[in-house]
């Protein structure tokens, strides 16, 4: 059965290699349903597969295939089984109902009924479940720190794992508990930009603190690392409540996603200037910060010089470098701009070396 013959699929173009894999798994009856949707805040798409056996599908879609095809096409594959639907039913299906809909379904062999009456109370029940576990783990780690006992960090790591699980449930409808904490954080980074700010990386695929703690036999009770972990713990808590608040304020998914999309990333009036308006359109530009401003007057004319810090997703392309050089050498409307560009990894790496 050709997935792209389905009605919704007429507007969806899956990579040919992926399409073939899916059709093969459909023929062997390993896949019962498929949903596909673009996420609100990033260019990534999510491909949900309802399957009989997750391990069977994982064997069919090898890690190499996922890295080569899915990652290249900015697609995350999420596997759901009966256990995931049973877990969601405990919260009146709210975990799944805002993700899986008729209008993003590519294929199904059976009618999948989700509650149409999910609301704020169901989401608050899920949030209460998170907060109960969060407070329990925080209480234990705080007690270990107070009594100067070894192992406090490990409870913080468990708290991070709990935080990650509840973010995954809202974003993907399931949790990736079989993956390492590092792998799970790297996935979350793709969908929640704020996650990138929580932990300093030692390289593109590892976090300094996470690696240090998981490989440290002593698991110390408190020091500068402990202070950092406690701050990260608070930031995780804030991030989860902020993420859940999006759905609490309006449980209608389309309106909720519109709220997220309209969340102002470029609030300063300078961000609407001709020069920066074009700069924002470069794919590698992730964030812009105005960090200094000089205003002068000459012959009754106002001249402004803005210093902008540009955070990049990856190293600047030749086109971006050319454009930055152009706007720095050619003031527009008496506005002169000087930019400094770094990737987030470069920033974190330099910061860590400086701290040492």
- Annotate 295-311 with three-state secondary structure: EEEECCEEEEEEEEEEE
The enclosing H or E element of 286 equals strand 285-298
pLDDT for 160-176, tens place per residue?
Answer: 899 999 999 989 999 99
Mind giving me the DSSP string for 215-243? T-SS--S-SHHHHHHHHHHHHHHHHHHHH
Domain ranges of the chain: 3-108, 120-261, 269-355
- Say what the pLDDT of residue 269 is: 64
For residue 227, give both structure tokens: 């202070």
- Say what the pLDDT of residue 36 is: 92
- R_g (Cα) of the chain, nearest Å: 23
Q: Tell me which residues of the chain have a pLDDT lower than 70.
A: 1-11, 40-41, 116-119, 151, 216-226, 247-271, 348-356
Provide the 10 A C-beta neighbour count for residue 197: 14
- Say what the pLDDT of residue 4 is: 47
- Say what the pLDDT of residue 330 is: 84
Report the candidate in 208, 198, 182, 214 with the shortest Cα–Cα distance to residue 355. 208
For residue 115, give both structure tokens: 């509650």
Contact 21, 15 (CB under 8 A): no
Give the N- to C-terminal CA distance of the chain in Å, as an integer: 59
pLDDT for 8-50, tens place per residue?
Answer: 444 677 888 899 999 999 999 999 999 998 776 677 899 999 9
- Say what the pLDDT of residue 259 is: 39
pLDDT for 116-163, tens place per residue?
Answer: 666 677 878 888 898 899 888 888 877 777 777 776 777 778 888 999
- Say what the pLDDT of residue 118 is: 62
Report the candidate in 293, 298, 296, 297 with the shortest Cα–Cα distance to residue 309. 293
pTM above 0.75, yes or no: no
d(CA 52, CA 340): 51
∠ at Cα 197 (84, 155), nearest 5°?
60
């Amino acid at each position: 059965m050709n997935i792209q013959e389905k009605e919704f699929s007429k507007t969806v173009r899956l990579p040919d290699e992926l399409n073939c894999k899916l059709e093969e798994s459909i023929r062997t009856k390993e896949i019962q349903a498929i949903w596909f949707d673009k996420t609100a805040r990033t260019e990534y798409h999510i491909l949900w597969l309802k399957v009989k056996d997750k391990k069977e599908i994982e064997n069919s879609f090898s890690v190499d295939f996922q890295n080569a095809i899915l990652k290249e096409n900015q697609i995350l594959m999420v596997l759901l089984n009966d256990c995931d639907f049973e877990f969601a039913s405990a919260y009146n299906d709210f975990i799944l109902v805002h993700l899986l809909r008729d209008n993003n379904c590519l294929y199904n062999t059976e009618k999948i009924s989700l509650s149409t009456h999910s609301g704020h109370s169901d989401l608050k029940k899920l949030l209460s479940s998170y907060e109960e576990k969060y407070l329990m783990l925080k209480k234990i780690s705080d007690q270990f720190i107070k009594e100067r006992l070894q192992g406090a960090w490990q409870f913080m790591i468990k708290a991070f794992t709990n935080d990650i699980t509840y973010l995954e449930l809202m974003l993907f409808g399931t949790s990736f508990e079989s993956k390492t904490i590092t792998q799970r954080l790297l996935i979350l980074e793709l969908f929640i930009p704020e996650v990138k700010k929580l932990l300093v990386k030692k390289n593109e695929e590892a976090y300094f603190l996470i690696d240090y703690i998981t490989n440290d036999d002593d698991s110390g009770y408190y020091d500068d690392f402990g202070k950092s972990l406690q701050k990260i713990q608070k930031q995780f808590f804030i991030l989860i409540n902020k993420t859940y608040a999006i759905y609490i304020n309006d449980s209608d998914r389309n309106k909720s996603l519109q709220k997220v999309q309209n969340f102002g990333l470029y609030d300063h009036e300078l961000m609407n200037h001709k020069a920066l308006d074009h700069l924002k359109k470069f794919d590698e530009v992730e964030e812009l910060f105005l960090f200094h401003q000089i205003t002068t007057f000459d012959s009754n004319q106002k001249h402004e010089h803005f210093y902008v810090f540009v955070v990049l997703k990856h190293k600047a392309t030749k086109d971006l470098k050319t454009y930055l050089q152009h706007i720095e050498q050619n003031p527009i409307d008496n506005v002169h701009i000087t930019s400094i560009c770094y990737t987030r990894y470069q920033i974190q790496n330099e910061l860590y070396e400086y701290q040492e």
